[in-house]
A and B are shown apart, each in its own frame.
Chain A
Amino acid sequence: MELLLNIVIYLPLFGVLLLLLVRKDEWVRWSSLLITTATFVLSLPLLLQFDITATGSAQYLTVGEPFLGDWDVKYMVGLDGLSMLLFMLTTFMAPIVVLSSWSSINKHVAGFYSMLLILQTGSLGVFAALDLFMFYVFFELTQIPMFFLIGIWGGKDRIYATVKFFIYTLVGWLLMLVALIYVGYAAGNMVNDGVFTTDWRLLTDHAFQLGLVEQTWLFLAFGFAFCIKVPIFPFHSWLPLAHTEAPTAGSVVLAAIALKMGTYAVLRYLIPLFPNAAIAFAPMFAVLGVIGIIYGALVAMVQKDVKKLVAYSSISHLGFVVLGMFAFNTIGAQGAIIQMVNHGLSTGALFIIVGMLYERRHTRWISDFGGIARKMPVFTVMFMIATLASIGLPGLNGFVGEFLILVGTFNSEVLGSYWYAVIGALGVILAAVYMLWMFQRVMFGPVTNEENNKLTDINAREIGLLIPIMLFIVWIGVRPTDFTKYSEAEVTHLLEDTRTRAATIAQNTADDRLPGWASRLYDVTPQMVSNVKHENQEE
C-alpha cells in the first residue's frame, strides 16, 4: 500500500511524459482524462483500506533517507485522518477538472494539461507529506503550474492577477521558511540529538517544547503564510482577482484544492506545532473568521461579475473553516474538515457552472444574463443544487459543515463566548441573500438579451462531469458520517494532544521570566495552569 500511495502521487507527474509523446490535442485530452481517472481509481484502495480507528501515526507511511547533508530532512509521505479526505477530494476532482476544460482550452493544449497534472502531483504531495520541509517543497510545486495556468490561459488581466497571486503567496511562505528553519533547529536540539529535523512525528513529540516567546513569533510567521494562502481576511485581495482571471479549470483547482492547503496547514502544522500560541491566538483567528464570513458575504452580495461573486463567497465559507478549527474541539474541527470538502465540491461546481456559461456567452456580468432557466433546463437543475449546497440547505453537504462548526464554536471552551457562533450564523442568512439574488438575476425572469436566446443546454460531457459532484453533494448531506468517520479519531487525538502539550509547556514555563506582553498573552499564573490541568483530567 505504501507503494500504491507513491504511485498515486506521482502518476500524474509521469503522465506528463505521455502528453509530450502524443501529438493531437484530442489525444492529449483523452490521455489526461485517462491518467487522472487512473489516479482516482488507484486511490480508492487507500480509502477502503484505511483504518479509521488508528490515531497518532500516519498509515501507508514511506520514510526515505535524509537527503540534505547533515539535516534530518527526509522524503516522508503517508495518510492519516487529517489528510485522507482532502487527498481523496484531490484525486476525485482531477478528472472532472480535465473534462471541464475539454472544449474551452484550445491554445497550447498539451502545456495546459501538463500544468494540471504537475499541479495534481504537487497537491497530493502537500496533503500526504509528513515532513514539514517536504510539505514546503510540494507546496512550491503547486505554485508554479498555477502561475502559468492563470498567466497563459487566463482572462484579460491574467498577468497582473497571476503575478499578484504568486508574489503575495511567496512573500508569506518565505517568511514561513525562515521560521521553519528555526523550528527545525529547535526540534533538533530538543528531540533529535542536535540534528536539524522537520519530521512531523518529532515536531509533535511531547518533549519538543518551544518557549512561549518563541512560539509567538513562529506562530505569527507560519500564521501569516497560511492566512494568505487560505485566504483569511484581510489577506484575501489576491483571491477574487486570481479567480476571475483564471480559466475555469484554474478556478476550480484553486477553490477546490489549493485553498484547502492553507486551511489544512493550519490544522496540520500551525495548531499542533505551537499549541500555546494557537490557543492564545484562537480568539483572534476566530474574530478574523467571523469577519471573513460576514465581510465576504456582504461584498459578494454587490458583485456584478458572477465569478467574483463566487470568489467572495469562498472567503465567507473559508471563514467558517477557520472558525471551526480554532474552536479547539472535535465538533468544530470535524465541521471544518468536512466544510473544506464541501467547499471544494460546491464552489468547484459553481466555478464549473459559471465556466459553462462563460464558454457560451463570453461574459461573466450578471446583467448580461437573465431568463436562462428556460433555455437550459438541465443546467438549471445542476446550478440550483450547487447553489442550495452553497447556502447550506439541510440535506445537502454545506449544512453539515456549517452546522458542526457552529455547534463546536458555540461550545468552545477556548473561545469562551457564544457570540462567534451567533454572528457567524448570520452568514447563513447572507449566503441565501447573495446566492439567490444572483441565481434569480441570471436564471429567472424574461430573456432580455437576444444573445441568451441562442443558448443551448449542457451536453452529455458537461452533465457527466457535474453528476458525480452532485451525487457527493447529496451523499454528504444525507450520510455525512460515511465521510466524517475518517477524521473523527485523528482529530480528537490531535486536539487532545495539543492541549496536553500546551498545558505541559505552560506549566514548565510558569516560573520562567517572561516579558510582560507574553505573560499577559498567555496568562501564565499558577492558577491558570491548574485550570488547564483540570480540564485535561476531565477529558
Chain B
Amino acid sequence: MDTYVHLVPWIIAIPLVGFFVNGLLGLAFRSYRDMKTVSGIIATLAVAVPFLLAVYLFLMMQGDSESASISLFTWIQAGDFTTDIGYRLDQLSLLMTLVVTGVGALIHFYAIGYMAGDESPWKFFAFMNLFIFAMLNLVLADNMLLLFLGWEGVGLCSYLLIGYWYTDMAKSDAAKKAFLYNRVGDFAFLIAMLLIFQTIGSLSFDAILNGTELFTTDQVFIIGLLILIGATGKSAQIPLFVWLPDAMAGPTPVSALIHAATMVTSGVYVISRLSSFVMMSPELMLLIAVIGAFTAFIAATIALTRYDIKAVLAYSTVSQLGFMFLALGSGAYVAAMFHVVTHAFFKACLFLGSGSVIHAMHHVEHKLHEEGKDVHFDPQDMRFMGGLRKYLPSTYMTFLIATIAIAGIPPLAGFFSKDEILVMAFNAGLGEYGAIYFGLWALALITAFMTAFYMFRLTLGTFHGSFRLPEKITEAAGSEKYLHDSPFTMTSVLWVLAALSIVGGFIGIPNFVVATFTGTADVNLLSNWLDRVTMDAELVLSKPVEWMLLFGSVLVALSGIYVAFLLYGENDPETQDNRIAARFGALYQVWNEKYRLDEIYEGFIVHPTVRFSDRVLAVFDIKFIDGFVNFVASVVRFTGSVVRYFQTGVVQTYAVAIVLGVIIVISMLLF
C-alpha cells in the first residue's frame, strides 16, 4: 500500500481545511453567518471528498495488503523520546475511515436541513469538521500519542457540540460532564503510555505489536487495564458511562455522529488495534468481557424506563457498546468491529429518525405558539407522541427498519453482528475461565431480549397508537395537522442509512451458514479483510452448535418483539410502564433512577473534593501558609517595637550605655 499511503494526509487535512474555512469566515464576516446552506455544503464536502479518497484506497487495497505508514514530521522529541506525526494505513484503519467519513458525510448532509433554523450553523459545521479531523487522527495514527491527540480532540469536539446551545446551563453542564468523565479515562490512558514507553522505549504501534514479547503478562494486564479505563471513558462503559446519556443535550446530528456512530466506538477500536497485545493476558480479556456484558445489561435495564426518545437511544448505545466490549473480551475482534460498522448504520439511522421526530414535534409546538396558545411540552417525550406513522411515513419506515436491525432479526445488519458476538462469547466459554464466559453469554442473551423489547417499545410508543399530545394537553387539540415529515434532504439520508442497515450485515455472513449448503467456508468478507490486523480467538464450536445458537438468538429477539407488541401495541406506554413498575417494584425503581450512579459520584467524589478544597485547603492556604508568613513578619515588627525603646535619642542614655559597655569589656579583659 506504499504507493497509496500518501493520500492519507489529504484525507485528514481536508476536514481541517473545512473547519478553518467555516470557522474563520464565520468569525470574520457577519454576512457569512447567514449563508447557512453554504456553510453546510462546504462542511459536507470536506467530509465527502475524504470519503471518496477512502473508497479509492479501499478499491486499491486487498485483504492481504501490507500495512503502510507515512510520517509527516517529528512531533515531540526530547532525549530518547521521539514521536512522529505519522499515519498508518491498513485494513482496520481504512475500515474505520470509511465508517467515519461515510456516515459522517451523510450526517453532515442531513444537518444542513436540521440546523436550518439555528442562528449560527457555521460554527456547528466548523466543530463537526474539526471532529472528523480529530477522529481521523485517532483511527489513522501510527502511534499511541497521536492517537491520544485524536482521542482528546474528539473529546473536545464532543464538549463543544454537546454544549452547542450554551446559553442553556443544563446543556453546558452536560458538555462539561462529558469532558471531565473522559478526562478521568484519559488520565489512565496517559499512564498506560508512560508504562509502554518505559518498557519498550517507543509508542508506535509497530513497536508495541512487534515487541509484545518484551512485556510480561503482569505488565500487559496493568497497561491493558489502564487502556481499558481510558476506553470506558470514551466508549461509555462501566463505571464511566454516565456522561453519555447527558450528552444527548447536543443537537441530534451530533448524537448520531459522535455519540453513536463514531467517537464512542474509539475504545473498541483501540483495543482491537492492540489485539495481539491484549490477548496476552486472559485475565484482562475476562475483565473486558465482564465490563462489556454488565454494561450492556445495566444500560438495557435503564433504557426500559425512559420516555425521552433520545435517552432510550443513548442507553441503547451504551448497551450496544457493551456488546462490543464483550466481543473484545471474548477475543472476537472481527465481531466487535463488525458490530461497530453495523451499529454505525442503524444507530445513526435511529438517531437521525428521532431527530426528524423531534423536528416535527418542535414544529407543532412552534405552530401552537403562533396560534397564541401557551403550550409547553418536551418534544422528545414519547408520552406526547404516538401514531406518528401516519404523518411521518418516511421517518417511520426507516426507523422501523433500523429497529428491526438492532433487534437482531435476520437478515438485517444487526442480526449478523450481534449473533457473532453471542457465538464468540459462548465459544470463549469453552476456554479459560469458561464458567464465567458462559454466565456472560447468558447475560448477553437476556440483554438481547431486552434490546428487542425496549426498541420496539420505543418505536410503538412513538409511531403507533394514537397521537397523544391532544389527549394530554387539551389546548393542543387538533395539533396533528401541523405534523409533517422532514424535507427530502433529511429523509434521503434516513433511507440511505436504512438501506445500509438492511444490507450491511452481508459483509460478515458467518462462514458456517454458507458452508452448510455449499461446503466452501470463506465468505466472511470482514473476517478476511481484517485477518492481517486483528488476532481473533479460534472458533472451536461445531456447525450444529452454531446453528442452534443462531436460532436461539433469533428466537430471543422475536420473543422480545412479541412481548413489546403485546404490551405497547396500541397503548399509551405510560400506563403499561406503570403496570411493569408495579410488577417489578423496587427493581424497576432502581432502573428508573439509573442505579443512582450520578448521585453516588456526586456525593462521594465531587462534593467531598470541592468541600475539602473550599473549607479546608483554601482556608489553610490563607490562615496557615500565609498566616505563618505574616507571623514571621509580626515577630520582626514586635522585636523592632521593643528594641526601638533603646533608641531614645537622649544623649545621656547613650553615654550611660557607653560607660556600662566599657566597664563590661574591661572587666572581661581583666578577669
Contact = CB atoms under 8 A, between A and B. Distances in A.
Contacts of A437: 176
A238 B628 CA distance: 12
A484 B625 contact: no
A510 B595 CA distance: 64
Interface in B484-524: none
A395 B153 contact: yes
A466 B135 CA distance: 29
A444 B172 contact: yes
A331 B79 contact: yes
Interface in A347-402: 371, 373-374, 377-378, 381, 388, 393-395, 400
A445 B153 contact: no
Contact of B167 (A388, A425, A446): A446
Interface in B432-471: none
Interface string B125-155: 0000000000000000000010011001100
B169 A445 contact: yes
Given A237-B629, A298-B609, A433-B180, A428 B76 contact: no
A481 B79 CA distance: 12
Given A302-B618, A410-B194, A429 B180 contact: yes
A377 B194 contact: no
B81 A404 contact: yes
Contacts of A504: none
B190 A428 contact: yes
A374 B172 CA distance: 14
Contact of A428 (B159, B169, B186): B186
A295 interface: yes
Interface centre among A381, A433, A444 (most CB of B within 10 A): A444
Contacts of B78: 330-331, 334-335, 404, 408, 484, 488
Given A406-B190, A436-B179, A301 B613 contact: yes
Contacts of A238: 629
B172 A440 contact: yes
Nearest to A312: B621
B187 interface: yes
B610 A301 contact: yes
A488 B82 CA distance: 13
B197 interface: yes
A422 to B, nearest CB: 6
A40 interface: no
Interface centre among B159, B168, B183, B609 (most CB of A within 10 A): B183
A88 to B, nearest CB: 19
A408 B609 contact: no
Nearest to B615: A302
Contacts of A443: 166
Chain A contact surface mostly: helix
A432 B156 contact: no
A426 B184 CA distance: 9
A478 B617 CA distance: 36
Given A411-B198, A425-B191, A479-B73, A298 B617 contact: yes
A524 interface: no
Interface in A158-198: 164, 167-168
Contacts of B206: none
B227 to A, nearest CB: 15
Given A334-B78, A377-B27, A429-B180, A371 B190 contact: no
Contacts of B167: 371, 374, 444-446
Nearest to A406: B194
B76 A388 contact: no
A480 interface: yes
Contact of A440 (B75, B152, B176, B617): B176
Contact of A445 (B172, B187, B613): B172
Given A334-B78, A335-B78, A492-B79, A237 B626 contact: yes
Contacts of B617: 295, 298-299, 302
Chain B contact surface mostly: helix
A465 interface: no
B77 interface: yes
Interface string B610-624: 101110011001100
A26 B629 CA distance: 42
A168 B625 CA distance: 13
Contact of A484 (B77, B183, B609): B77
B216 to A, nearest CB: 16
Contacts, number: 141
Given A404-B76, A426-B187, A481-B74, A299 B613 contact: yes
A479 B190 CA distance: 20
B495 to A, nearest CB: 37
A421 interface: yes
Interface string B168-184: 11001100100110011
B40 interface: no
B191 A422 contact: yes
A421 B149 contact: no
B163 interface: yes
Contacts of B190: 403, 406, 425, 428
B194 A421 contact: yes
Contact of B621 (A168, A237, A329): A237
Contact of A299 (B77, B186, B187, B621): B621
B668 to A, nearest CB: 29
Contact of B81 (A164, A407, A446): A407
A234 interface: yes
Interface in B232-291: none
Contacts of B80: 330-331
Contacts of A234: 625
Contacts of A377: 27
B614 A302 contact: yes
A331 B81 contact: yes
Contacts of A481: 73-77
Contacts of A302: 610, 613-614, 617-618
Contacts of A374: 167
A429 B187 contact: yes
A445 B165 CA distance: 9
Nearest to A392: B152
Interface string B354-395: 000000000000000000000000000000000000000000
Contact of A388 (B73, B77, B156, B609): B156
Interface in B579-625: 609-610, 612-614, 617-618, 621-622, 625
Interface in B622-662: 622, 625-626, 629, 633
A494 B184 CA distance: 36
Nearest to A404: B78
B163 A444 contact: yes
A29 interface: no
Contacts of B179: 432, 436
A445 B197 CA distance: 42
B183 A298 contact: no
Contacts of A167: 633
B412 to A, nearest CB: 39
Given A236-B625, A436-B179, A444-B166, A403 B76 contact: yes
A50 interface: no
14 contacts: A298-B612, A303-B618, A408-B79, A410-B194, A418-B194, A428-B190, A429-B184, A436-B159, A436-B179, A478-B85, A479-B75, A480-B77, A481-B76, A484-B78
Interface of B: 27, 73-81, 85, 145, 148-149, 152-153, 156, 159, 163, 166-169, 172-173, 176, 179-180, 183-184, 186-187, 190-191, 194-195, 197-198, 609-610, 612-614, 617-618, 621-622, 625-626, 629, 633
Pick the 10 closest A-B CB pairs, nearest first: A330-B79, A237-B626, A334-B78, A394-B149, A302-B614, A444-B172, A298-B613, A331-B79, A444-B166, A445-B169
Interface of A: 164, 167-168, 234, 236-238, 241, 295, 298-299, 301-303, 329-331, 334-335, 371, 373-374, 377-378, 381, 388, 393-395, 400, 403-404, 406-408, 410-411, 418, 421-422, 425-426, 428-429, 432-433, 436-437, 440, 443-446, 478-481, 484, 488, 492
